[in-house]
Amino acid sequence: RVHSSAPEFARNRIGNTDINGVFTEAVADGEPVDIPADSFVSVRVEMPEDSIWNEAQKETLEAMENAERERQQNQQDAQL
């Protein structure tokens, strides 16, 4: 896709510009393209709420919160 709000160098334009300055897109949306060897692709993916990754993140967060609660409780118990 061409993003008109992006800087000129980052607009993902694949095609040709004629002598009148008219740009013609050479690849339609969704069509496969080759990526040159000296280039890279950066992709951002929004994972579904119930994905394995998000579930693992939730479990990790819960474990960290539980460990912090235990640490605080142990600290309070030691002061008594």
CA dihedral 16, 18, 22, 23 (to 10 degrees): 0
Residue whose structure tokens are 């993902």:
12
pTM of the model: 0.44
Residues of the chain with pLDDT under 70: 1-2
- Cα–Cα distance between 53 and 12 in angstroms, integer? 30
- Cα–Cα distance between 35 and 8 in angstroms, integer? 19
pLDDT tens-digit map of 21-37: 888 878 777 788 888 88
For residue 1, the model assigns a pLDDT of 63
* Bridge partners, residue 16, by sequence: 24
